[in-house]
Amino acid sequence: MSKVKYTDRSISAKELMYAVASMVIGVGIFNLPRYITTVTNGIDGMISILLMGGLVLAIVWIMGQFVRMYPRKGIYEILLSIIPKPIAFLLIIVYGSFFALLAAYEIRAIAEITKKYLLPNTSSDILSLLFLLVTLYALFGSRTALIRINSMFLPVVLIVSLLLVVLNIRIMHFDNFYPLLTTDLKGYGSGMINIFFSFTGISIIISYSYLVNEPEKASSAAVKGVFISIIIYAMVFVSCVAVFSNLGTDFLENPTIELGKEIELPGGFFERFESVYFTIWIMTIFNTTSMSMDSSLIVLESLFKKTKKETLIVILAPIIFFVSMVPIGMEEMEAMGTFIGRLSLALTAIVPVPLYIIAKIRGVKK
């Protein structure tokens, strides 16, 4: 029987691009400028962003090439065909729990930020629970739909980020970029490491690769997606430095949100732009959360092939919720973030590359 081209359960390379971009842009962006300005002077952090961006692009490219060798195969199958079963099993468990952890962190972070800026009188547990429930609703739907939601939200997010920069031009002091190149090498280095957490999301390329119907384009699509996020990061960083100065940014808890608060359009109902701005950011965080939970689900599905997806979701959701409640206070949240960042560094930067090399040497087993 004939079919309408795109209604089968696969995604195009373009959709992968949107998915990667919205996955990468998560709660990290709220603090990103601060993480950079603490260790660099003036606008020097741009160098860190660009270097790290380049590095991440390279990693993503390699990951894309890697999964391309195994079109339409899930991650567990890929691992099994390269490395012995026990190691593959261990790795996939780490991989799955990493995504669950990331989802828990995102849920908690958005709840804390919402509590701080929007609903000071509501407890953050309820906020995160509601957010989790909404995420679950997405998970109960089809996986393709979940990925396609990105293509609805991402353009809006891009437009809003652009507005964030454009509308702030009035109060930017470009003098704040100076002094140039006064940071020491160590500063650039730790800047790069600090930025890496904001690129945690790139690992979904591996989990979603089996859905892509044009595997040969996957690599470049993923690279493009990451590129979009690098541009957004750079834009936000530059505007933060221009508006708050390097030192001012350093002293702000969430510089990107403050940037949204700075905007004041003359007159009009949207004099205070942040209302729109907050609403949109919740969408991006939703994308990141739903996709990382989904990735965790993919891992579970590959391990328990006979169990129904719904059952797995029902098992996974409470675990994630309780993990999200574990950190108490700002400090522990920060620590959790750092831990996830390091884990992601290990998983996305260190693991795929040797695997790729092994796979290249041994060739693809049929």
Partner 1 sequence: MKREGNPHIDHSPLLCNSLSSNLELIQTTLGPTPDLKMLQYEIRNIPITILYMADLVDSDKLQNILKSIKYIKYAPPVDSSLFEQMYSDIYLTAQTEKISKMNEVTNHLLNGRTIILMDSINECFSVDTYGGKVRAIEEPQTESLIRGPKLSFTEEIGVNIAMIRKQITDENLKVETFVIGERGKKKVALLYIGDVINPAIVEEARHRLNHISIDAPIDSGIIEQSIEDNFMSPFPQFISTERPDKVSLSLLQGRLAIIPDQTANALIAPISILDTVQSPEDYYERWHIGSLLRMLRAFAVFISLFLPSFYIALVSFHQGLIPSRLAFSIAASREGVPFPAFIEALMMAITMELLREAGLRLPKPIGQTIGIVGGIVIGEAAVQAGIVSTVMVIVIAITAIASFTLPVYSMGVTYRILLFSFIFAAGMMGLYGISLAFIVLVIHIVNLTSLGIPYAAPLAPIFINDWKELFVRLPIAFIKKRPVFLDPVDEVRSEKEE
Partner 2 sequence: MIKRCYVVSILLLSFLLQGCGAREIEKKAFVIGVGIDQGKNEDATSLPVMNGTFQVAVPRSLKPEVTNGKAYQNFEEKGHDISEQISKIAQISNKELYFAHNQIILVSDKVAKQPQRMERLLDFFVRHEDIRRSVRVFITKGDTKQFLNVENNEKLPSLYIDTLSANVQNHSRTASIKRLGDLQEDLLAHRSFVLPVLHYKSTDEIKLGGAAIIKGESSRLTHVLNEKDTEALNILNGEFQKGMLLIELKDNLYIYKVDKSKSKIKLQSTNNGQLTFKITVSLEGEIQEVNKQMDTRTTSADRVKKEVEKQLAIKTERFINKLQNQYKTDVLGLGVYLEKHHHKEWLKLRNDWETGENHFSQVKINTQINTTISSAGGLR
Residues within the interface to partner 2 (CB under 8 A): 42, 116-117, 119-122, 126, 129-130, 133-134, 136-137, 140-141, 171, 175, 178-179, 182, 243-245, 247-248, 251, 258, 261-262, 264, 310
> Least distance to partner 1 from the beta carbon of 318, Å?
19
Q: Which residues of 329-358 are buried (b: 16+ CB within 10 A; e: fewer)?
A: eeeebeebbeebbebbeebbbebbeebbee
Instruction: Give the residue with the Cβ less far from partner 1, 26 or 352.
Output: 26
> Least distance to partner 2 from the beta carbon of 121, Å?
4
In whole angstroms, what is the distance from residue 166 CA to residue 213 CA?
Answer: 37
Span of 179-187, 222-230, 278-286, 339-347 interacting with partner 1 by CB under 8 A:
278-286
Which residues, other chains included, contact 229 with Cβ-Cβ below 8 Å and sequence gap of 6+?
20, 21, 24, 25, 198, 199
C-beta of residue 118 within 8 angstroms of C-beta of residue 278: yes
Q: Which of residues 93-132 bind partner 1 (CB under 8 A)?
A: 114, 118-119, 122, 127, 130-131
Select the binding partner of residue 307 from partner 1, partner 2, none (C-beta < 5 to 8 A, by kind): none
Instruction: Give the residue with the Cβ less far from partner 1, 4 or 361.
Output: 4
Q: Which of residues 5-24 bind partner 1 (CB under 8 A)?
A: 5-7, 12, 14-15, 18
Specify the amino acid at residue 165.
V
Span of 21-29, 148-156, 238-246, 310-318 interacting with partner 1 by CB under 8 A:
148-156
Give the count of beta carbons closer than 10 Å to the beta carbon of residue 36: 33
Select the binding partner of residue 6 from partner 1, partner 2, none (C-beta < 5 to 8 A, by kind): partner 1
Q: How far is CA 128 from CA 45, 120, 257, in A?
A: 33, 14, 19
> Least distance to partner 2 from the beta carbon of 182, Å?
5
Site string for partner 1, 280-299 (x = CB under 8 A): --xx--x-------------
CA angle 343, 349, 353 (to 5 degrees): 135
Single out the residue of 264, 328, 350, 269 nearest to residue 63, CA to CA. 350
Half-sphere exposure of 339 (CA within 13 A, CB side): 14
> Least distance to partner 2 from the beta carbon of 171, Å?
8
> Least distance to partner 1 from the beta carbon of 4, Å?
5
In whole angstroms, what is the distance from residue 129 CA to residue 289 CA?
Answer: 13
In whole angstroms, what is the distance from residue 57 CA to residue 227 CA?
Answer: 7
Select the binding partner of residue 18 from partner 1, partner 2, none (C-beta < 5 to 8 A, by kind): partner 1
Give the count of beta carbons closer than 10 Å to the beta carbon of residue 322: 10
Q: Which of residues 307-346 bind partner 1 (CB under 8 A)?
A: none
> Least distance to partner 1 from the beta carbon of 54, Å?
28
- 18 burial via Cβ count (<10 Å: 0-12, 13-18, 19+): buried
> Least distance to partner 2 from the beta carbon of 59, Å?
34
Sign, CA dihedral 22-27-28-32, equals positive
> Least distance to partner 1 from the beta carbon of 197, Å?
24
Enumerate binding residues for partner 1 (CB under 8 A). Answer: 1-7, 12, 14-15, 18, 114, 118-119, 122, 127, 130-131, 134, 137-138, 141-142, 145-146, 148-153, 267-269, 271-272, 274-275, 278-279, 282-283, 286
